[in-house]
Structure 1
Amino acid sequence: MKTTRPRSLRLRGFTTILLFLLPALVLFFGLVVAPILLAFYASVFKWNGMRGLPTDFIGMANFTRLLADEVFLGDLWRGLLLIILSVAIQLPLSLGIAMLLNQRIRGRAFFRLLFFAPYVLSEAITAVLFMMILSPTEGLANYILGWFGVDPLDWFADPSSVMMSVFIVMTWKYFGFHMILYIAGRQGIPRELTEAAQIDGATGWKVFRYVTLPLLGPTIRISVFLSVIGAIQLFDLVWIITGGGPSHSSETMAVTMFQFGFKRFQVGYASAISVVMFLISLVFAVFYQRYVMRRDLEGASTVLGDQR
């Protein structure tokens, strides 16, 4: 009896846990795993998405077509451009504002709310708002530029500047989220460390450079990870504002996938694009967690191990 009772209790506990997890597992496999497997399956077929499952097997032809598709190759370059701009401009801007709003200044709670508010808005509302602000004829931006004698700009209609315009919208939409991450990370740094550095004669910049910034490392690495993944999968803002135009100059991989899958009904080819997006994101995530966030994950594992 003494040997069977603990086993029965463990079995009962395992059954209870499984029952609680079952609804989440069903949703996860039905809404995440199954679509991924279906995309892999459809990517090796020529299929219009109609009349049941695909049957016209073409092997790797869709992926070979991707390598010769100038639009898709341009999508890769535009995605890389957004990643570089986000890491080089958007995140440092968020960090600078976060450090400023961490100081004891009047109205800092209001400014935190003000800068975070754009992130709460949906992508559709943000897109429509900036379509009005950056309108070439009646937009507020060109009206203000006119005060300084600058000719009106075609923000979203000029192929040479459309990606920068999209990046401006991205920055306005998402920098508040990263700002809040940095503020939370900064508040997690013990005040004694900065005070000790100041007692030793460190100036404000040196305190930030040698104390605050290194201790913000885990938060910054998470922020970079989210920013890169978001740039790879960007869809809503671009689709509503430009639809990928003019002349594909603002298309992203997600927009191209949507165009072929739901506009041209080339679901097999669109599935191949989605598979490439998934693999790029997966490879980046694995590499980033393995080599960049390794110390952060090991530290989390150590803490969890000590709590057991």
Structure 2
Amino acid sequence: MFTDAVVNNLTIVVLSVLIQLPLGLGIALLLNRQMWGQSLLRVIIFIPYVLAEVVAGVVWFLLLQPRGMVNDLLETVGLGEWTQLWLADTEIALWTVMGVLTWKYLGLAVILMLAGLQGVPPELYEAAQIDGASWWKVQFKITIPLLGPTIRTWAFLSMIGSLQLFDMVWILTGGGPANATVTMAVYLIDQGTNRSLYGYASAVAVLLFAISLTLAALYQVFVLRRDTTDAPKPRRKKR
């Protein structure tokens, strides 16, 4: 079970970056343009992030029941063959949890990307347009490189949050079915609280800390360090 928990945590870490990064960046680029209802759209996207995990988890737990609103809606629009046991099928339970996590935490990625876009000088876009650069080329050559520090910081926060994931999984599935969605934090709580194996749970907590510290240190050395080494060093005043 502990091995499954570690694998699930690492899977969530990877999927969170692969799914939320392009979605967050794309939505941020869309909302960064002048459009009607821009402020309202930003609020709507950020609302799930500020909701308490318990509230969001309970709402989605009810929606994803076999006779919940999601399956009823699919049947209503003629997609009854798409109805699933979203939280009880070992094949799709983890993907269902990932969908809820993406809905919950995508707002943070969007807000951080929007903040980073505010720091991109508009003169660069104007110069690129004069040179005849396409929209896609402008994004890949100007926007994304300048958003590098923001993207790397968000990825670090997403990684740490994925390793500590507990509330949403505990409410939605409790780690089931058949350990398909169990995480290290869920496994820790189950062993310590439900089974009263406090020593074993403490050992799991130490391993969780060691894994988190190792990944954070490696990320700092190989990814985040470039944001400090590439920064211009202050000049020393001559006496």
Same fold (TM over 0.5): yes
**Percent identity of the aligned residues?**
47
Deviation at 1:81? 1.4
| Distance in structure 1 (CA, Å) of the matches to 2:23 and 2:195 | 40
RMSD: 1.7
Equivalence for 1:234: 165
Number of residue-to-residue matches in the alignment: 235
Equivalence for 1:106: 36
Rg larger for: 1
Deviation at 1:292? 0.6
Deviation at 1:303? 6.1
TM-score for both structures, normalised by structure 1:
0.73
Equivalence for 1:134: 64
Q: Secondary structure at the match of 2:35?
A: coil
Where structure 2 has 5 or more consecutive residues not aligned to the other structure, the ranges are none
Deviation at 1:305? 8.9
Equivalence for 1:86: 16
Q: How does 1:1-308 map to 2 (within 5 A)?
A: 71-137=1-67, 139-146=68-75, 147-151=77-81, 152-298=83-229, 302=233
Q: Tell me the alpha carbon deviations over residues 154-210 of structure 1, each in whole angstroms, 9 at most, x when there is no partner.
A: 110111111011001100100001100000001111111111111111111110010
Q: Secondary structure at the match of 2:80?
A: coil
| Distance in structure 2 (CA, Å) of the matches to 1:269 and 1:73 | 15
TM-score for both structures, normalised by structure 2:
0.94
Counterpart residue type for residue 221 of structure 2: R
Q: Tell me the alpha carbon deviations over residues 222-256 of structure 1, each in whole angstroms, 9 at most, x when there is no partner.
A: 11111111111100001111111122221100000
User: Moved runs in structure 1, 4+ residues, more than 3 A?
Assistant: 298-306
Counterpart residue type for residue 292 of structure 1: V
| Distance in structure 2 (CA, Å) of the matches to 1:77 and 1:259 | 17
